[in-house]
């Protein structure tokens, strides 16, 4: 993977039973601000699948973040706006998949 090309970060989550709506609301609020608060974030979207194919494989929710490059992704991982999102996913998930694609 080239350090100079953009990168797409995909996170799929199966939530544990009892996930409070306030947790999803807070995650959504933070993700909506990623492009303004985290250098190198080009776009970010999160939510439940709207696919008509029914191929989610048990996952409830997804997050897709596009970065200018791998360096931006690496900075995002420890960024104070990302850490609460990561912590909430860690606390409330039953299963998580993270998959990064070079563009």
> CATH number for the domain including 79?
3.30.70.100
Is residue 2 assigned to a domain? no
Is residue 38 assigned to a domain? yes
Tokens for 33? 């601000």
User: Cα angle vertex 26, ends 22, 29, to 5°?
Assistant: 135
pLDDT > 50? residue 2: no
Is residue 18 assigned to a domain? yes
pLDDT > 70? residue 34: yes
Is residue 31 assigned to a domain? yes
Show the domain range for 68.
13-96
pTM: 0.93
pLDDT > 80? residue 71: yes
DSSP code for 16? P
Is residue 50 assigned to a domain? yes
CA 74 centroid distance within chain: 14
Is residue 78 assigned to a domain? yes
Is residue 21 assigned to a domain? yes
Is residue 76 assigned to a domain? yes
Mean pLDDT computed over every residue of the chain: 96
At residue 103, the pLDDT reads 87
DSSP code for 68? S
What's the structural domain count of the chain?
1
């Amino acid at each position: 993977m080239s350090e100079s090309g953009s990168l797409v970060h995909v996170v799929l989550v199966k939530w544990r039973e009892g996930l409070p709506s306030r947790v999803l609301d807070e995650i959504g609020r933070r993700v909506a601000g990623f492009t303004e608060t985290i250098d190198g974030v080009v776009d970010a979207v999160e939510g439940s699948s709207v696919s008509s194919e029914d191929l989610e494989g048990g996952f409830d929710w997804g997050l897709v973040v596009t970065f200018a490059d791998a360096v931006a992704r690496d900075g995002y991982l420890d960024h104070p706006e990302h850490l609460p999102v990561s912590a909430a996913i860690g606390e409330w998930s039953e299963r998580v998949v993270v998959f990064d694609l070079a563009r």
